[in-house]
Amino acid sequence: MKNRYPGIVASLAVASALVAGGAYASEPVTAKDVDNTKVNVRDKHDSTTLPTDQPNNSADLKVAAAVRSAIVDDDSLSMAAHNVKLVAAGGVVVLRGPVDSQDEKMKVGKIAGAIEGVSKVENHLEIKTP
């Protein structure tokens, strides 16, 4: 019987080999690597602002979108900085999550503070540890 899709079969075989090989090439993940207990405890407090606290009114959503856009548009920032959590409510922007350095933390805060409609920035960004 003739194979009607030789290119697809070959591509799937190569992709499978690459995925399987990549799984074994990386370093093993330990419990210490994935332990975020401290973050979970911190986030359980009612005083902690979470992304789910983002108001749904148009003014706050517009500010949040403008801050996110300004952060993402800065190519000098890391992927971690581009993905920080932010909440904009009543002119106050709360920033949370990991960034690569103290300079990056300050830069993200400055970017957020420069957006029209932002009166205060609460910068709770954390520096990633290697």
d(CA 2, CA 19): 28
What CA–CA distances, in Å, run from 95 to 17, 101, 121, 130? 41, 15, 7, 21
Q: What is the pLDDT of residues 51-65, one digit of tens each?
A: 777 778 999 999 999
Q: What is the pLDDT of residues 78-100, one digit of tens each?
A: 999 999 999 999 999 999 999 99
The distance between the two most distant Cα atoms of the chain, rounded to a whole number of Å, is 71
Q: What is the pLDDT of residues 20-54, one digit of tens each?
A: 555 555 666 565 555 555 554 555 555 677 777 77
Nearest CA to 95 among 106, 84, 82? 84
| pLDDT of the residue at 56 | 86
| pLDDT of the residue at 17 | 58
pLDDT bin (cut points 50, 70, 90) of residue 3 is low
pTM of the model: 0.66
CATH 3.30.1340.30 correct for 32-127: yes
What CA–CA distances, in Å, run from 7 to 2, 3, 17, 20, 90? 13, 10, 16, 20, 56
| pLDDT of the residue at 77 | 97
> Where do the domains of the chain lie?
32-127
β pairing state of 92-99 and 85-89:
antiparallel
